[in-house]
C-alpha cells in the first residue's frame, strides 16, 4: 500500500501521467506560483499594501505550507526516479539538483526571519521569494525548452560572453585614458569607466556619461559599432539552439516493427 501511494505521488509530482488529478495539480501549482509572484510585485505599491496587506500574510502561510509539503514529498519519492533508483545517498544527491535548490530558495525566505533579526538581511531574503517564478520550469514546457537550450549551448555562450568581457575591458581602458583628464569624475578609473562601456556596448546609451574629447568620440563610435557585432554572437547561438531544440521536439519517434529500435521521421 505504501509503495502504491509513493508511486502515485511520484507520478503526480513529476507529471509522468496525463490523468485528471495530475493535470489539476499542475494547474493549481502554476496558479499558486503565479499569484505568489504577483503578490511580491504589488506589495511594493503602498496604496495596495495598506488596503489589502492583511490578506498577504495568510496567503503567504498557505503558499509556504503547500510548497513545503511539495518539497518534502519530492524528497520522499526521489528514489523512484530512474536517475537515483538503487543509488546510495539518493535523497542527498537529489537535494542539490538545480530544481530542488530553486524549491528550497522558494520556501527559505519565510523561515529565515525567525532565525535572523537583521532588518536589512530580512529585506534581501524576502526578495528571494521571486525565485518561486523559477518553479514554473517544472510545469512549463517553454521554460524547460529554455533550460535545455542553455544546457546544450553553455560552452558556446561562455566563450561568447568571455569575448564580450575582453572587449569591455579593452574599451573601458581606452576611454579612461582618453577622457580621464577632461572628465576626472566621470572617468575616474577603469572600473568606473566600465559603466560607460556596458551601456555603449549594449547600445543603450543612457547619456549620463559620454566622451567630450575628439579621441574619446572616435573610440565611442568604434565601440558602439563593435557592440552590435559582439552581441550578435550570443543572439545567433541562442536563435540556432532554439530552432534545433524545437525541431527535436517536433520529431516523432516510432519503434521499428522489426527490431524494436526507435526511429525518427
> Within this chain, do residues 29 and 77 fall inside the same structural domain, yes or no?
yes
Range of the domain at 179: 154-264
pLDDT greater than 50 at residue 258: no
> Within this chain, do residues 15 and 130 fall inside the same structural domain, yes or no?
yes
pLDDT tens string 125-136? 666 677 777 777
Q: Average pLDDT in the 193-221 region?
A: 87
Q: What is the CATH number of the domain that holds 223?
A: 1.10.287.70
Residue 33 lies in a domain: yes
Please count the other Cβ atoms lying within 10 Å of the Cβ belonging to residue 96: 9
> Within this chain, do residues 123 and 162 fall inside the same structural domain, yes or no?
no
Q: How many angstroms separate the Cα of 171 from the Cα of each of 101, 147, 182, 197?
A: 37, 32, 17, 6
Q: What is the CATH number of the domain that holds 114?
A: 1.20.120.350
Domains contained in the chain, number: 2
Backbone angles phi, psi at 60, to 5 degrees: -65, -45
Lowest mean pLDDT among 8-12, 88-92, 182-186, 221-225: 88-92
Q: How many angstroms separate the Cα of 118 from the Cα of each of 43, 61, 108, 123?
A: 20, 21, 16, 9
pLDDT greater than 70 at residue 265: no
Gap between the Cα atoms of 93 and 88, Å rounded: 9
Confidence band of 62 (pLDDT split at 50, 70, 90)? very high
Residue 161 lies in a domain: yes
Query: Residue 31: which of 183, 165, 135 has the closest Cα?
Result: 135
Q: Average pLDDT in the 150-159 region?
A: 86
> Within this chain, do residues 62 and 187 fall inside the same structural domain, yes or no?
no
Lowest mean pLDDT among 112-116, 161-165, 168-172: 112-116
> Within this chain, do residues 167 and 132 fall inside the same structural domain, yes or no?
no
> Within this chain, do residues 115 and 36 fall inside the same structural domain, yes or no?
yes
Residue 149 lies in a domain: no
Exposed, middle or buried by CB within 10 Å (0-12, 13-18, 19+), for 149? buried
Q: Average pLDDT in the 182-205 region?
A: 88
pLDDT greater than 90 at residue 241: no
pLDDT greater than 80 at residue 42: yes
Residue 145 lies in a domain: no
pLDDT greater than 70 at residue 157: yes
- The pLDDT mean for the chain works out to 82
Residue 57 lies in a domain: yes
> Within this chain, do residues 162 and 254 fall inside the same structural domain, yes or no?
yes
> Within this chain, do residues 18 and 134 fall inside the same structural domain, yes or no?
yes
b (16+ CB within 10 A) / e for 250-263: eeeeeeeeeeeeee
* The three three-digit cell numbers of residue 45, written as one number: 505599491
The enclosing H or E element of 255 equals strand 253-255
Q: Average pLDDT in the 38-42 region?
A: 84
Signed CA dihedral, 71, 136, 154, 151: sign only: positive
> Within this chain, do residues 258 and 208 fall inside the same structural domain, yes or no?
yes
Residue pair 74/100 in contact (Cβ under 8 Å)? The answer is: yes
> Within this chain, do residues 46 and 127 fall inside the same structural domain, yes or no?
yes
Amino acid at each position: 500500500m505504501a509503495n502504491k501511494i509513493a508511486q502515485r505521488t511520484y507520478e503526480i509530482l513529476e507529471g509522468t501521467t496525463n490523468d485528471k488529478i495530475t493535470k489539476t495539480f499542475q494547474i493549481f501549482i502554476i496558479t499558486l506560483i503565479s499569484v505568489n509572484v504577483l503578490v511580491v510585485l504589488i506589495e511594493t505599491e503602498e496604496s495596495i499594501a495598506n488596503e489589502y496587506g492583511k490578506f498577504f500574510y495568510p496567503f503567504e502561510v498557505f503558499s509556504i505550507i503547500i510548497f513545503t509539503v511539495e518539497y518534502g514529498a519530492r524528497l520522499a519519492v526521489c528514489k523512484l526516479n530512474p536517475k537515483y533508483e538503487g543509488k546510495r545517498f539518493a535523497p542527498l544527491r537529489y537535494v542539490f539538483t538545480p530544481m530542488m535548490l530553486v524549491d528550497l530558495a522558494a520556501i527559505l525566505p519565510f523561515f529565515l526571519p525567525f532565525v535572523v533579526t537583521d532588518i536589512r538581511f530580512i529585506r534581501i531574503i524576502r526578495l528571494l521569494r521571486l525565485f518561486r517564478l523559477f518553479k514554473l520550469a517544472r510545469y512549463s514546457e517553454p521554460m524547460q525548452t529554455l533550460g535545455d537550450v542553455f544546457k546544450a549551448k553553455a560552452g558556446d555562450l561562455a566563450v561568447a560572453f568571455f569575448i564580450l568581457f575582453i572587449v569591455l575591458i579593452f574599451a573601458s581602458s581606452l576611454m579612461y585614458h582618453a577622457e580621464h583628464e577632461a572628465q576626472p569624475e566621470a572617468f575616474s578609473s577603469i572600473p568606473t569607466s566600465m559603466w560607460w562601456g556596458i551601456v555603449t556596448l549594449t547600445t543603450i546609451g543612457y547619456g549620463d556619461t559620454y566622451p567630450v574629447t575628439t579621441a574619446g568620440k572616435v573610440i565611442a563610435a568604434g565601440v558602439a559599432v563593435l557592440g552590435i557585432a559582439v552581441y550578435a554572437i550570443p543572439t545567433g547561438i541562442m536563435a540556432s539552439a532554439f530552432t534545433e531544440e524545437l525541431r527535436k521536439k517536433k520529431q516523432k519517434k516510432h519503434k521499428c516493427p522489426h527490431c524494436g529500435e526507435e526511429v525518427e521521421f
